[in-house]
Amino acid sequence: MSEKRLPGFSKRLSDLLPDFSREEAGGDGLFRRGRDGVLDILTPRDRKSDFIVFEDKTLCYVKSAMGYPAIYPLREAEFTGSADAVLMDLDGTSVHSEPFWIWIIEQTVSRLKRQTFFRFEAEDEPHVSGHSVSEHLQYCISKYCPEATVEEARRHYFEITQYEMNEIMQGRGKRDAFVPAPGLKEFLLTLKSNGIKLGLVTSGLYEKAWPELVSAFRTLNLGHPFDVYDAVITAGQSLRPGQAGTLGELAPKPHPWLYAETAKVGLGLEPGSRVVGIEDSSAGVLSIRLAGFPAFGISGGNITRSGIRPLLAGEFSSLDELLPLLSGRKRI
């Protein structure tokens, strides 16, 4: 088995083991190695998913802090030639904003604990970035304030977010909250001039993602986001009393739906189109791969720490390094 390429992976088992561990059981006990055709069970370092390997397929069991896990097939996703469409993440990939959003969650925990000052530990970072707001808050409650509820935490989170976002839009808020990634403007305009469709995909809810995107475009003097992007998909609106919301809090990254919707509905792409995704987080990389597309990683996020690197078609330190590959001027 160690010399055989695994279904859905581009590497042999022996090459995966530095990032994955082999488990006897997975999927919260639904699968066991050696039973019902299960050849292996692989779990990345962050333990947020299990890969159930059969002779002819690999299933990915996505765990859920909210109590709603899901199982998806991990399909082959090779990148050849230039891209027809590029789907890219917002936070960390297009705009450097993760410290700001982690700061918002820290303020939320501070309120829940009734403390004037609170800071996360280094080990908390993979659990408070890249996933949905509710997933982040559930983690914080479980570790730091088990007497609180997700509903209470969400109320504080959105009160803080609404205030801070309004301050930023008025020019009074936290400085350098949303810094465009180096080379973002050239990256977007070059791909667009080559006829490549562009989609922005974020697990952030609309009320936090849209002001962030508008702020970044103002900084770059790029005009309106829809002058550049062909589709922008967020996790929807927040669901609070008196408001209509969506299922975005239960089905964001690492689930495939945001990337799948951007490609199929937002861009109208047909099967066989050369679609690639760009991410800096483990949740985003898994989302891209489960949607059936090859994923490219941008350094600086939690991809390496999570152990999800074997799912990448390639990893780059910046967008400008990746540009020649996507535009067909360079091959892997």
Every domain of the chain and the residues it spans: 13-73, 85-97+180-326, 98-169
Q: How confident is the model at residue 205 (pLDDT cuts 50, 70, 90)?
A: confident
* Strand ranges (E), 28-140: 31-32, 40-44, 49-53, 58-62, 70-73, 85-89, 95-96
Tell me which residue of 93, 79, 17, 44 sits closest to 286, measured CA to CA. Answer: 44
Q: What is the mean pLDDT of the chain?
A: 91
For 243, list phi and psi in degrees, rounded to 5.
Answer: -130, 150
Asked if residue 308 lies in contact with residue 19, where contact means CB atoms within 8 angstroms, the answer is yes
Q: Quick one: pLDDT at residue 206?
A: 87
CA distance 296 to 222: 24
Write out the two tokens for 106.
């820290």
Strand arrangement of the beta sheet that strand 85-89 belongs to: 231-233, 197-201, 85-89, 275-279, 295-298, 314-316
Mean pLDDT of 47-69: 94
Mean pLDDT of 134-138: 91
pTM for the predicted model, two decimal places: 0.87
Q: Quick one: pLDDT at residue 331?
A: 61
Category of 242 on φ-ψ map: left (φ > 0), alpha (ψ -120 to 50) or beta: left
Is beta strand 275-279 parallel, antiparallel or unpaired with respect to 179-180? unpaired
Q: Quick one: pLDDT at residue 332?
A: 56
CA distance 75 to 64: 21
The CATH code of the domain at 85-97+180-326 is 3.40.50.1000
Tell me which residue of 89, 98, 97, 86 sits closest to 219, measured CA to CA. Answer: 97
pLDDT digits (tens, 9 = 90+) for 233-289: 998 877 777 767 776 777 889 999 999 999 999 999 988 899 999 999 999 999 999
Q: Quick one: pLDDT at residue 327?
A: 79
Q: How confident is the model at residue 3 (pLDDT cuts 50, 70, 90)?
A: low
Q: How confident is the model at residue 63 (pLDDT cuts 50, 70, 90)?
A: very high
